[in-house]
């Protein structure tokens, strides 16, 4: 395995074999001998292998974490051996911004003694969660060699005054969807850069920064690059590597595609480039440290509908007929649905629509029985075309909210009365605050809402990235960005009540919202951004810009929202829940 980018950027004279041995100790808990690392905590608990590995607490980047009520200190090369170079803000969102405690630099000898004894170089016993290890000279040399290089230099794509980001557009994306994504990204980047003062200069509007950024002079401009892929997916990897070679980027932000995203995720793994919340219907099934998604997409919808049909639907369907375009996206959705019902008593019949054919829908919907359930994996153009076809009799007809655009899909009245949506977003009445926050910003920027789910996803991605990089200060390491992400989303559930009270005032809300949250504090008391913007800061506005019911990540998880509803349209056109949140 290659050494991570944040490691490889360190001392070029280091022995690569020794560093790789140290990486295995740090990440996997495997000693150079092949034996498992063994540690003893002060509470007499023995930990072995991955449980004993340094990464289990200090994370990929070595920048530390929060474990319960304990703050885990950084152990990067700078923090251990050159502490004057490191300013680390605590990851704990329950407290104000605090910096890492200063200490005398470690030497190889003093660090070896600390690892063996559990006593730091100031003579203090460390936390009970920190094991002490029996390490021979070879293992100590390897681990120390690795730590000396860990998160020392900024990752590729970072310069003294700029951070480069890219957004990926896969072939086949409708021009209006591409434009909707780019309009938000470009506008947000301009707004961010308009209030960014690089270096230690003073003056100007300082809305987008924390006091720590301003004092330390860690602000940087952001530069956005569009990476438009062409041709078959087998060629995307080479194209992405060429883009990265021409202009390295720190992370991929948002991004859009209709079918597979696997080549993009593979590129991110190979180059150690974070893939930050792309808007894709079919993310790879296998998780990756370097790629983070809103949900499992159409696979989540398939699993949720399968559970609903098996456990809650009355009467039980005799057969599921699914209609889909005969393209990668449609075939992937149909395969996921068939797999989800494989062990059930509900047989599945597939009726693919030829790609590009505009007159195949009537035939696909012919010869249905009243006991059949129909699942239509269709995008907006095909849903609009249903107006020329009579809906089937009998059971409800189900649609993908991801593909069709949710409640904004262009249903004819007859179809709207029959339609039920598999809906991975928060119910509209519950997300009232979140949607209005997004709408307020769009209105202020004079951007039309043409695809609310997509645009809200892009808005959240860029706002969350803004806040996360702000918390990183000058420690711009790829792995640390993802460590920060996990930590902030792992705390989000416990902060929801506070988020609601803080969010309401940002809307300039009156009437219903003001009555619902009478104790809300003005947003100006909690964040310092231009009017209409909402931070996703660790103190509690994380969910103010997302459509999803819950966003959370445990360590190693890469799908932030894990459930979906089944909903229908009421007589007034509003969505009504047919199920509780289904988490397959």
In sequence order, the β-bridge partners of residue 400 are 422
- For 423-451, the pLDDT digits (tens) are 999 998 888 777 788 889 999 999 999 99
Q: Are 132 and 170 members of one domain?
A: no
The more confident residue out of 217 and 13 is 217
What is the pLDDT confidence band of residue 313, given thresholds at 50, 70 and 90?
confident
Q: How far is CA 305 from the centre of its chain?
A: 24
pLDDT surpassing 70 at residue 538: no
What is the pLDDT confidence band of residue 175, given thresholds at 50, 70 and 90?
very high
Question: Domain holding 398: CATH number?
Answer: 3.40.50.2300
Using left for φ > 0, alpha for ψ between -120 and 50, and beta otherwise, residue 434 falls in alpha
Task: Count how many residues are written for the chain.
Answer: 584
pLDDT surpassing 50 at residue 509: no
Residue 313 preceded by cis peptide, ω within 30: no
pLDDT given for residue 432 in this prediction: 79
Give the domain-ending residue among 126, 149, 172. Answer: 149
DSSP 440-479: HHHHHTT---S-HHHHHHHHHHHHHHHHHHHHHTT---HH
DSSP letter at 211? H
Look up tokens 């089937």; give the residue. Answer: 392
The more confident residue out of 494 and 521 is 494
What is the pLDDT confidence band of residue 100, given thresholds at 50, 70 and 90?
low
The rounded distance, in Å, linking the Cα atoms of 288 and 320 is 33
Identify whether 484 is part of a domain.
Answer: yes
Domain tally, the chain = 4
Lowest pLDDT segment from 165-179, 187-201, 296-310, 373-387: 187-201
Q: How far is CA 34 from the centre of its chain?
A: 35
pLDDT surpassing 80 at residue 199: no
The rounded distance, in Å, linking the Cα atoms of 407 and 416 is 9
Q: Are 214 and 332 members of one domain?
A: no
The more confident residue out of 31 and 100 is 31
Q: 24-30, long-range: CB within 8 Å, 24+ apart, which pairs?
A: 25/53, 25/54, 25/139, 25/142, 25/143, 25/146, 26/53, 26/54, 26/55, 26/62, 26/143, 26/146, 26/147, 26/150, 27/53, 27/54, 27/55, 27/60, 28/53, 29/53, 29/56
Give the domain-ending residue among 149, 170, 205. Answer: 149
The rounded distance, in Å, linking the Cα atoms of 216 and 198 is 11
In sequence order, the β-bridge partners of residue 325 are 353
pLDDT given for residue 552 in this prediction: 86
- For 114-154, the pLDDT digits (tens) are 998 888 888 888 888 889 898 999 999 999 999 999 999 89
Identify whether 557 is part of a domain.
Answer: no
pLDDT given for residue 297 in this prediction: 95
Q: How many percent of the chain have pLDDT more than 90?
A: 57
pLDDT given for residue 506 in this prediction: 35
Identify whether 491 is part of a domain.
Answer: yes
User: 462 with 534: CB under 8 angstroms?
Assistant: no
pTM summary value: 0.84
Mean pLDDT of 62-66: 84
Q: How many percent of the chain have pLDDT more than 70?
A: 82
User: 219 with 136: CB under 8 angstroms?
Assistant: no
The rounded distance, in Å, linking the Cα atoms of 280 and 255 is 8
Q: Are 345 and 283 members of one domain?
A: no
**Nearest in space to 480 (alpha carbons), one of 272, 281, 189, 288:** 272
Q: Are 61 and 118 members of one domain?
A: yes
**Nearest in space to 273 (alpha carbons), one of 487, 555, 2, 477:** 477
Identify whether 157 is part of a domain.
Answer: no
Q: Are 13 and 142 members of one domain?
A: yes
Q: Are 383 and 266 members of one domain?
A: no
Identify whether 302 is part of a domain.
Answer: yes
Identify whether 537 is part of a domain.
Answer: yes
User: 566 with 422: CB under 8 angstroms?
Assistant: yes
Identify whether 552 is part of a domain.
Answer: no
In sequence order, the β-bridge partners of residue 319 are 372
Q: Are 118 and 171 members of one domain?
A: no
C-alpha distance from residue 331 to each of 166, 399, 411 (Å): 29, 15, 23
The more confident residue out of 516 and 256 is 256
Average predicted confidence (pLDDT) for the chain? 83
Question: Domain holding 239: CATH number?
Answer: 3.40.50
pLDDT given for residue 54 in this prediction: 94
| Element holding 45 (H helix, E strand) | none
What is the pLDDT confidence band of residue 510, given thresholds at 50, 70 and 90?
very low
Q: Are 67 and 139 members of one domain?
A: yes
- For 444-501, the pLDDT digits (tens) are 999 999 999 999 999 999 999 998 898 888 889 999 999 989 887 875 544 443 333 3
Q: Are 262 and 379 members of one domain?
A: no
What is the pLDDT confidence band of residue 69, given thresholds at 50, 70 and 90?
low
pLDDT surpassing 60 at residue 390: yes
Largest Cα separation within the chain, whole Å, is 81
- For 228-277, the pLDDT digits (tens) are 999 999 999 999 999 999 999 999 999 999 889 999 999 999 999 999 99
Give the domain-ending residue among 246, 270, 292. Answer: 292
pLDDT given for residue 217 in this prediction: 65
pLDDT surpassing 80 at residue 9: no
User: 38 with 135: CB under 8 angstroms?
Assistant: no
Number of H helices, E strands in the chain: 21, 19
Q: Are 468 and 523 members of one domain?
A: yes
Look up tokens 């209709």; give the residue. Answer: 258
Lowest pLDDT segment from 263-272, 499-508, 555-564: 499-508
Q: Are 48 and 75 members of one domain?
A: yes
pLDDT surpassing 70 at residue 517: no
| Element holding 431 (H helix, E strand) | none
Identify whether 559 is part of a domain.
Answer: no
pLDDT given for residue 97 in this prediction: 54
**Nearest in space to 63 (alpha carbons), one of 467, 479, 470:** 479
Domain that holds residue 517: 432-545
Q: Are 374 and 444 members of one domain?
A: no
In sequence order, the β-bridge partners of residue 423 are 565
Collapsing DSSP states into helix, strand and coil, what is residue 397?
strand
**Nearest in space to 286 (alpha carbons), one of 274, 273, 299, 276:** 299
Task: State the first-to-last Cα distance of the chain, in angstroms, to the nearest integer.
Answer: 34
Lowest pLDDT segment from 97-106, 274-283, 387-396: 97-106
The rounded distance, in Å, linking the Cα atoms of 233 and 381 is 24
């Amino acid at each position: 395995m290659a050494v991570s980018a944040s490691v490889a950027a360190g001392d070029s004279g280091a022995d690569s074999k020794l560093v790789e041995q140290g990486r295995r100790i740090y990440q996997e808990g495997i000693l150079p001998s092949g034996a498992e690392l063994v540690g003893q905590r002060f509470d007499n608990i023995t930990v072995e292998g991955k449980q004993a590995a340094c990464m289990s607490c200090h994370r990929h980047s070595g920048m530390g974490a929060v474990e319960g009520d304990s703050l885990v200190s950084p152990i990067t090369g700078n923090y251990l051996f050159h502490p004057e170079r490191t300013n680390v803000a605590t990851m704990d969102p329950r407290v104000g911004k605090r910096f890492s405690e200063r200490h005398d630099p470690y030497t190889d000898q003093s660090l070896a003694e600390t690892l063996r004894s559990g006593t730091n170089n100031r003579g203090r016993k460390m936390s009970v969660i920190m094991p002490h290890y029996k390490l021979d000279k070879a293992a100590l040399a390897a681990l120390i060699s690795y730590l000396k290089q860990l998160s020392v230099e900024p990752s590729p794509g970072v310069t003294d005054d700029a951070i480069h980001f890219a957004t990926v557009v896969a072939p086949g994306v409708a021009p209006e969807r591409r434009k909707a994504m780019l309009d938000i990204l470009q506008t947000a980047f301009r707004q961010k850069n308009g209030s960014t003062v690089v270096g230690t200069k003073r003056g100007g509007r300082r809305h987008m920064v924390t006091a720590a950024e301003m004092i330390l002079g860690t602000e940087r401009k952001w530069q956005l690059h569009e990476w438009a892929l062409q041709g078959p997916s087998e060629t995307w990897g080479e194209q992405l590597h060429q883009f990265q070679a021409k202009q390295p980027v720190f992370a991929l932000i948002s991004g859009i595609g209709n079918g597979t995203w696997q080549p993009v995720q593979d590129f991110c793994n190979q180059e150690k480039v974070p893939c930050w919340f792309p808007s894709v219907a079919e993310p790879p099934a296998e998780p990756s440290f370097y790629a983070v998604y809103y949900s499992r997409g159409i696979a989540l919808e398939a699993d949720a509908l399968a559970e609903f049909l098996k456990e809650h639907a009355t009467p039980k369907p005799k057969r599921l007929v699914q209609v889909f375009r005969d393209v990668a996206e449609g075939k992937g959705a149909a395969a996921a649905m068939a797999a989800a019902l494989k062990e059930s008593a509900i047989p599945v019949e597939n009726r693919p629509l030829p790609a590009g054919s505009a007159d195949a829908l009537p035939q696909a919907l012919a010869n249905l029985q009243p006991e059949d359930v129909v699942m239509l994996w269709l995008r907006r153009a095909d849903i609009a075309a249903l107006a020329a076809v009579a809906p089937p009799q009998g059971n409800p007809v189900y649609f993908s909210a991801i593909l069709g655009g949710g409640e904004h899909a262009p249903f004819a009245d007859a179809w709207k009365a029959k339609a039920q949506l598999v809906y991975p977003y928060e119910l509209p009445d519950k997300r009232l605050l979140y949607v209005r926050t997004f709408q307020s910003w769009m209105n202020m920027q004079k951007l039309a809402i043409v695809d609310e789910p997509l645009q809200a996803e892009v808005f959240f991605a860029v706002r969350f990235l803004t806040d996360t990089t702000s918390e990183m200060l000058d420690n711009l390491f790829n792995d640390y960005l993802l460590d920060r992400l996990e930590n902030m989303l792992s705390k989000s559930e416990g902060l929801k009540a506070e988020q609601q009270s803080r969010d309401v005032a940002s809307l300039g809300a009156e009437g219903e919202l003001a009555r619902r949250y009478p104790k809300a504090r003005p947003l100006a008391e909690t964040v310092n951004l231009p009017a209409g913007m909402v931070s996703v800061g660790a103190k509690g506005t994380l969910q103010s810009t997302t459509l999803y019911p819950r966003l959370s990540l445990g360590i190693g998880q890469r799908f932030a929202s894990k459930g979906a509803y089944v909903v229908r349209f009421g007589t007034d056109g509003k969505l009504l829940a047919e199920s509780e949140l289904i988490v397959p």
